[in-house]
């Protein structure tokens, strides 16, 4: 594929989402969506993220239903190890009482990990399959068929995850401290004097907004950079093999680490929301 188009077109093609939007002429895709405005759906991000979410639920549910008290099988041992790992981190970090936090942390860790793991799929494989399906089934030019298979390289996905966490932060801050307590936290810290209310509010509001921003941008930036390097390596043709393997091995650490960081920051932020000063 890289030999048929220029390097710039090759990179742009791989970093473009399959977009769907509603225009005056009905449903449109990609090129017609460039001027469609705000409501553009990245259908590849939605499909892969929802599919991987169902995979996580079905896999863990299946293991839970078949779990035995005797010597566990390999899959049960692996799932138990993941659950124990997440549970120990929640117990060490979260100091409130909330039955939601451990399942939420487990869901975030495994789901983000699975989405990140798609970065190890050869960059040309799934887009090529999508192009062949588009050409054979719909008579499309394969170069007009887009397929971005790593959901966490899409800002829409990382911000959606981060804003979900942000909503829980606000919800539990108000639930635990009351609306008045939450507002006092925003207006009387760090300087506990009425004269500094405007300064306190600016500082605390920026700190509050920085939480979802940092969650979303950190995850997006690391995975987007990793995917871009895989694309650049793929452009080398047969010479990519000596470089692809070591980068893939190193990137496994990034994939796991970013899922862990997103989970841990979520636990920390929600623990802070449960602190009643």
Q: Active-site residue 214, yes or no? A: yes
Computed from CA positions of residues 221, 82, 111, 131, in that sequence, does the dihedral angle turn out positive or negative?
positive
CA 49 to chain centre: 8
Computed from CA positions of residues 186, 187, 193, 196, in that sequence, does the dihedral angle turn out positive or negative?
positive
Q: What is the DSSP letter of 19?
A: E
CB within 8 Å of 107: residues ≥ 6 apart = 56
CB within 8 Å of 77: residues ≥ 6 apart = none
Choose among 78, 86, 101: nearest CA to 169.
101
For the chain, how long is the longest CA-to-CA vector? 70
Q: Which of 22, 89, 218, 271 is catalytic?
A: 218
Q: What is the DSSP letter of 208?
A: H
**DSSP element (H, E) containing 133:** helix 125-138
Distance separating alpha carbons of residues 35 and 63, to the nearest angstrom: 47
Strand, helix or coil for residue 35 = coil
Q: Active-site residue 61, yes or no? A: no
CA 55 to chain centre: 15
Active site residues: 214, 218, 222
């Amino acid at each position: 594929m890289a030999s048929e188009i220029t390097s710039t077109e090759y990179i742009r093609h791989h970093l473009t989402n399959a977009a769907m939007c509603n225009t005056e002429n009905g449903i449109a895709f990609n090129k017609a969506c460039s001027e469609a405005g705000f409501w553009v759906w990245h259908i590849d991000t939605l499909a892969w993220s929802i599919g991987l979410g169902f995979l996580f639920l079905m896999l863990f549910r299946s293991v839970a239903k078949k779990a035995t008290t005797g010597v566990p099988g390999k899959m049960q041992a692996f799932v138990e190890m993941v659950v124990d790992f997440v549970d120990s981190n929640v117990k060490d970090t979260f100091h409130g009482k909330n039955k939601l936090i451990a399942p939420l942390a487990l869901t975030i860790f495994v789901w983000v990990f699975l989405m990140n793991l798609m970065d190890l799929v050869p960059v040309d494989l799934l887009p090529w399959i999508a192009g062949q399906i588009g050409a054979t089934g719909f008579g499309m030019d394969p170069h007009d068929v887009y397929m971005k298979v790593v959901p966490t390289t899409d800002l829409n996905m990382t911000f959606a995850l981060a804003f979900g966490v942000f909503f829980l932060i606000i919800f539990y801050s108000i639930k635990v401290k009351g609306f008045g307590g939450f507002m006092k936290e925003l207006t009387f810290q760090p300087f506990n004097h009425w004269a500094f209310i405007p300064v306190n509010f600016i500082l605390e509001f920026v700190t509050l907004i920085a939480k979802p921003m940092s969650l979303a941008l950190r995850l997006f930036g690391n995975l987007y950079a990793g995917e871009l390097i895989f694309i650049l390596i793929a452009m080398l043709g047969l010479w990519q093999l000596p470089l692809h393997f070591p980068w893939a091995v190193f990137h496994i650490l990034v994939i796991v680490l970013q899922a862990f960081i997103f989970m841990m920051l979520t636990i920390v932020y929600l623990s802070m929301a449960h602190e009643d000063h």
